[in-house]
Amino acid sequence: MKWRDSMAPAGVCAHETTTRHAGAIYPFLFETGRRIPGVVVGVELSGGTFSFDPFTLYASGVLSNPNMVVFGQIGRGKSSFVKTMIYRQLTFGRGAYVIDPKGEYSALGHACGVTPLALRPGGPLRLNPLDLVGDDIHEGAVRRLQLLESLVSSSLGRDLFSRERSALELALHDVQQSTNTATLPLVSNALLQPSAESARSIYSSQEQLCDDGREVGLELRRLVTGDLKGLFDAETSSSLDLDQRLVILDLSALYGSEALGLFMVCATAWVQQLLQRQRNAGRQSLLVVDEAWAILNDVAVARWLQSSWKLARAWGVSNIAVLHRVSDLKGVGSDGSEQQGLAQGLLLDSETRVIYAQPTGEVDAARDLLHLNETERSLLVKLPRGVALWKVGNNSSIVRHLVGQRERQIVDTDGAMG
């Protein structure tokens, strides 16, 4: 393809060249490699710049979904890539929402003029995970019920029985009838004191319905007076600016806690109603769940995350999950197990996979789960920091992520080592 330098001053013969040569003269402006449109990520080791944009690739039919998973050993540059991706995408008017379990996105926030929302027990900030909304009242209620079921079954360590599920559904219905703002404590109370109308609707008695939902009600109560207390147990703090283009939820005060997965699920649920607002404002956004292994470790909450992944296209959202090992997806569970189904479902719904170096013991699982060829498999143990194997739909590239001078302080997590 010919390219004509339209910036040539009047009277001077305009420069005309091919895009291949222009790529060499003007790096970062022209693609010479695979020509993926989007923000620049870095350079392909086979030559040329490498760019990426999940939304344009989806619109052009290269990808059938806009989601991404990023794998890699500790310190290989996963979060650095995600931070610069956000920084660069914001320039193009996109929004970004980050679940930040280690509290390491504050430099990015600072560079963008945004203060992270720090959630800490006893702190002033409350988020209501049941703020979840949908396109209609029914969809919002379904998402709330899914979330409640995931939280309780994860906490109980088992799936709910059908009578418990019905009791939960009726309790949520009762709460939604009486208030516009359902909260976890209100649902817990409604389970422990079901209404006569709810009991009648399933041809049962109040005593029986109370009995059916009692264990779920008590477990939910335990959660809101224990792990989730003071964070996710009330209406969302009214002081929050819900229309910021970059929202960072800093969960570092909860990092290392056994309930980290539950905290992350509640935080992600709350963020999803912001995404809905963004969509209504016509803005496409990234939703980053860093350290997503904490969610995926638990089958019940992984189910919920997967259902959220499925909403990506409808909401104009590109979900990005950051994981360490491929086996974080539990894809190596027994054949036909639910874990395997979930892992494969999440991968199918994440057509872009960015794979940094993996430990030797993981490469076979990576090959099988990500359908790598032998060359790609053997490369995985050798990739240096900042270099990843990119699988975008059917295309593969080895890419060195480039960090600009101004971006260095955004990505630095080695400060203490300096």
Ligand X SMILES: Nc1ncnc2c1ncn2[C@@H]1O[C@H](COP(=O)(O)OP(=O)(O)OP(=O)(O)O)[C@@H](O)[C@H]1O
- 399-405 own/partner pairs: CB under 8 Å, 24+ apart: 399/41, 399/42, 399/43, 399/44, 399/45, 399/50, 400/42, 400/43, 400/45, 401/41, 401/42, 401/77, 401/80, 401/81, 401/84, 402/40, 402/41, 402/42, 402/43, 403/80, 403/84, 404/84
386 binds, among Mg ion, ligand X, none (CB under 5 to 8 A by kind): ligand X
Q: Which is nearer to ligand X, 104 or 164 (CB)?
A: 104
Query: Whole-number minimum distance, CB 134 to ligand X, in Å?
Result: 33
74 binds, among Mg ion, ligand X, none (CB under 5 to 8 A by kind): ligand X
412 binds, among ligand X, Mg ion, none (CB under 5 to 8 A by kind): ligand X
Query: Whole-number minimum distance, CB 86 to ligand X, in Å?
Result: 13
Q: Which is nearer to ligand X, 83 or 391 (CB)?
A: 83
Number of residues binding to Mg ion, judged by CB under 5 A: 1
Q: Which is nearer to ligand X, 79 or 272 (CB)?
A: 79
273 makes contact with Mg ion (CB under 5 A): no
Read off the tokens for 89.
């995408």
The whole-angstrom separation of Cα 228 and Cα 247 is 21
Query: Whole-number minimum distance, CB 59 to ligand X, in Å?
Result: 28
Q: Which is nearer to Mg ion, 79 or 89 (CB)?
A: 79
What residue ranges bind ligand X (CB under 6 A)? 72, 74-80, 385-386, 401, 403, 411-414
Using left for φ > 0, alpha for ψ between -120 and 50, and beta otherwise, residue 22 falls in alpha
403 binds, among ligand X, Mg ion, none (CB under 5 to 8 A by kind): ligand X
Residues 6+ apart with CB under 8 A from 303: 150, 342
79 makes contact with Mg ion (CB under 5 A): yes
Question: If we measure between CA atoms, which residue out of 173, 207, 180, 176 comes closest to residue 192?
Answer: 207
Query: Whole-number minimum distance, CB 104 to Mg ion, in Å?
Result: 7
Q: Which is nearer to ligand X, 41 or 62 (CB)?
A: 41
Applying CB under 5 A, which part among 11-19, 73-81, 271-279, 363-371 lies near Mg ion?
A: 73-81
Say if residues 367 and 360 touch (Cβ distance below 8 Å). no
Say if residues 366 and 389 touch (Cβ distance below 8 Å). no
| Residue whose tokens read 């516009």 | 180
Say if residues 357 and 383 touch (Cβ distance below 8 Å). yes
Query: Whole-number minimum distance, CB 324 to ligand X, in Å?
Result: 6
Query: Whole-number minimum distance, CB 414 to ligand X, in Å?
Result: 4
Q: Which is nearer to Mg ion, 48 or 77 (CB)?
A: 77
The whole-angstrom separation of Cα 287 and Cα 267 is 12
Read off the tokens for 42.
């870095």
Applying CB under 5 A, which part among 62-70, 75-83, 164-172, 272-280 lies near Mg ion?
A: 75-83
The whole-angstrom separation of Cα 202 and Cα 177 is 17
Query: Whole-number minimum distance, CB 240 to ligand X, in Å?
Result: 27
The number of helix segments (H) and strand segments (E) in the chain equals 17, 13
Q: Which is nearer to ligand X, 80 or 278 (CB)?
A: 80
Binding residues for Mg ion, per CB under 5 A?
Answer: 79
